[in-house]
Amino acid sequence: MNLPMPIAFLPGQPAPGACATDSAVSDPAPLSGEELAVQAQGGCEEAFAALVSAYAGRIYNFLFQMTRNAHDAEDLAQETFVRAFRSIERYDPRYGFSTWLFTIAKRLAASHFRSSRRAITEEFEESHAPLDFSTPSSELEARDQASSLWDLARTLKRNQYEVLWLRYGESFSVEQTAQVMGATQIYVKVLLHRARGSLGKLLRKNGFDGGKFEL
């Protein structure tokens, strides 16, 4: 679900101000995100709409995992695509479009946390009740209440959780994860190693040996 996937859209050469797909209907091969982005750079709004349809779910899910709040995730997803739309000329087709889009989303999520100073909101539905990690005692309580591995992962440091989600939740490669995080591959590898180590310790502490987190 994570690599640049073909998108059901008609192919064609990009032309400034017009969608090349209008005249090319004979070849039904779907276009990739990168090809659609090139068409969107030429002014094709339909190509950008196809990109939105293709990536809105992933971007929303990523932002939801970062914020654990449906409203914030919606707003940030909208802002992500608006920024992408306004700066689509700066996209370099040599790189993956999904990486570029996730980079925007990740920066927006980071600035969202800086501005709001909260990772988890109170208005979230009870069924998706987030874990409260605001104090050490609540963090311990949250770890006790964690019912899934990702609940436990959310108790890690923020950048460790982000790198885990990008690598395993979005199935980005180490190189793509480094691009999204704006870091080197070495840094991402080190961060992954530390995150996995911390998660392993938490698993053992939370009953890995026969407990509810038994692998």
Contact residues: another protein, CB under 8 A: 45, 48-49, 52-53, 56-57, 60-61, 64-65, 70, 73-74, 77-78, 81-83, 85-87, 90, 148-150, 153, 164-165, 168-169, 171, 174, 192-193, 196, 199-200, 203, 215
Minimum distance from residue 194 beta carbon to another protein (Å) = 12
Residue whose tokens read 């979005």: 170
DSSP symbol at 169: I
Minimum distance from residue 133 beta carbon to another protein (Å) = 17
For another protein, the closer CB: 81 or 102: 81
For another protein, the closer CB: 32 or 67: 67
For another protein, the closer CB: 26 or 126: 126
For another protein, the closer CB: 127 or 137: 127
Minimum distance from residue 15 beta carbon to another protein (Å) = 19
Q: How far is CA 47 from CA 23, 57, 76, in A?
A: 14, 17, 21
